[in-house]
Structure 1
Amino acid sequence: MIEFVLTCFGPFAGITSNPTQTIIYGTPCPPHPPPSCGPITELLKSRPLSHPHVQIHTYLLPVSISGVTSAMSDIFNRHCPYPCLGTTRTVVFLHLGVDGSQAPPSQGAFKLERRGYNNATFRVPDNDGAQPTNQPIDQDQGLDCYLGSLCSYSNDSESSEEGSTTPRTSASPLVDSLVSNLKTKYGDLVEASDDAGRFVCNYTLYTTGRRIREYKSKVEEGGGGGGGDGEGKGVEAMTVFLHVPKFELLGGEIQVEFVRDVMEGICGLMEGGEEGALN
């Protein structure tokens, strides 16, 4: 079982209409959107993913430190309980955010982020008015700490660069494999990125990675502690962040299709390693 937890954001300073919200919930988005509505859900009904056992869950996140922290705490605990009772599954937190830095005459591109940084430096206030500068997200780690995407976050995946005492978790090779597979269809419209910014998008990617790492440590320390079929064990969890361009650069139809293909690509990689292909 592969379980996708798909998140988006609403408007914030400089972005009056967030394409990620439209991709998932459509326009206009209801105040309390139901879990199964909107363009991406409709596309998946007509073009289901090739993996036989997939669940999709969608959430609208607040554009603020406090809002994301509270919402993702609830969301994470809901989808990654410990101990986990029931069928063994992989949970993929696929976060969507808009890349507001892309503007005409740029063609626009989709960016799959390799890492999130332990650095909150907001160029504009979040929707609660917070505007930190060079503030560590983890107070006990340095600003140069980062956590990679699509990682298992096992203890043996941590490393430190020469001259640094700050632990880092490198991005999984799956990120580059996913981008390579997507390029066969989208060409230069997709790229891997090492800079998720330092706004709420980066904050979300980093803190989800941190939650997964802490969860993984709890599972490893607990030694599973259960029987078959996942009883008493933890789920496998990973996260990745997708930055999309504004609709004025790339239209909504191709963006919805791309998000679907990202999920298809992840399913392929889960099934077939680096050779997983789009369907």
Structure 2
Amino acid sequence: MANATPAQQQKRNVYLTGFSKFDSIVENATTHIVNAIAEGASLTVAVVLEVSAEGRLLGNARPIAKKAEEPDRPCVFLRMGVDADSTKFSLEYNLADFRTPDERGWVAQNVVINADEDDALKTMLPLDEMLADLERVNANARISTDPGRYICNYVYFHSLHWVKTQDANHYALFLHVPEFELIPMDEQVQFVRRVIELVAALD
């Protein structure tokens, strides 16, 4: 990737989040991935969030946003969620209309996430270049334009909105991963580690 440097030359803080259980996914793959790489050298923060619209704004989500606002260096929010219907890693490019109740029982239908914002926001990361690099780690990767209508979409929208409102050159990315039955945990951890290296080294 042209504008990336080795991981030891970290230029950005990386805030990694996964999700806890939701709906039929009791063992969320992203919980295990976050825990496996929580001590990574290129990570600033690594936490598992409750799967709820309310929970995203409460508890352990607040310290992350507060820390990201500190005048340190630009950051990247790397959000992860499980796509039970996919066999690939999906780099998500973005109404909150969630098909499934969240862990607090809330179901949103035709809900505007932020009335003052565009209907859709997109990441400004160089996804094509990132994908070319990541495919050397695992060929089962793609760029997606549909992060779904569940909490993943909600969290990604808020992350991109936060990035847009900041003066610094921040980024946000949502990565959907498959279940471990389709791509084993060790391969997924390796893939996510490479994503972290790439975004941490961006100018």
Q: Normalising by structure 2, what TM-score?
A: 0.87
Q: Separation in 2 of the partners of 1:75 and 1:147?
A: 21
- Residue by residue, what CA displacement relative to the aligned partner does 1:68-117 show, whole Å, maximum 9, x if unpaired? 02243431122223xx2xx5x12111001000223xxxxx11000013xx
Matches within 5 A, 1:117-266: 119-141=95-117, 145-149=119-123, 151=124, 172=125, 174-187=126-139, 189-216=140-167, 235-266=168-199
Q: How big is the shift at 1:141?
A: 4.7
Q: Separation in 2 of the partners of 1:213 and 1:126?
A: 26
Q: How many equivalent residue pairs?
A: 192
| 1:111 corresponds to | 90
RMSD after superposition:
1.8
User: Is the contact made by 2:14 and 2:200 (CA closer than 8 Å) also made in structure 1?
Assistant: no
Structure 1, unpaired ranges of 5+:
26-38, 49-53, 103-107, 152-171, 217-234, 272-279
Say yes or no: does 1:40 pair with 2:37.
Answer: yes
| 1:10 corresponds to | 20
- Residue by residue, what CA displacement relative to the aligned partner does 1:120-159 show, whole Å, maximum 9, x if unpaired? 11111001111011111012456xx11111x3xxxxxxxx
Give the 4+ runs in structure 1 shifted more than 4 A.
Answer: none
1:78 to 45, 67, 87: 67
Q: How big is the shift at 1:254?
A: 0.2
Q: Which has the larger radius of gyration?
A: 1
User: Is the contact made by 1:96 and 1:241 (CA closer than 8 Å) also made in structure 2?
Assistant: yes
1:94 to 70, 78, 82: 78
Secondary structure of the 1:186 match is coil
Q: Separation in 2 of the partners of 1:259 and 1:4?
A: 12
Q: Separation in 2 of the partners of 1:110 and 1:55?
A: 20
User: Is the contact made by 2:38 and 2:45 (CA closer than 8 Å) also made in structure 1?
Assistant: no
Q: How big is the shift at 1:255?
A: 0.5
Residues 100 and 210 of structure 1: CA distance in aligned 2, closer, same or farther (over 3 Å):
same
Q: Separation in 1 of the partners of 2:180 and 2:162?
A: 32
Structure 2, unpaired ranges of 5+:
1-10
Q: Flag the structure with higher helix content.
A: 1
User: Is the contact made by 1:80 and 1:91 (CA closer than 8 Å) also made in structure 2?
Assistant: no
Q: Separation in 1 of the partners of 2:165 and 2:155?
A: 15
The code of the aligned residue for 2:121 comes to L
User: Is the contact made by 1:6 and 1:94 (CA closer than 8 Å) also made in structure 2?
Assistant: yes
Secondary structure of the 2:128 match is helix
Q: Highest relative contact order (Cα 8 Å, sep 6+), 1 or 2?
A: 2
Q: Normalising by structure 1, what TM-score?
A: 0.64
* Fraction of identical pairs, as percent: 31
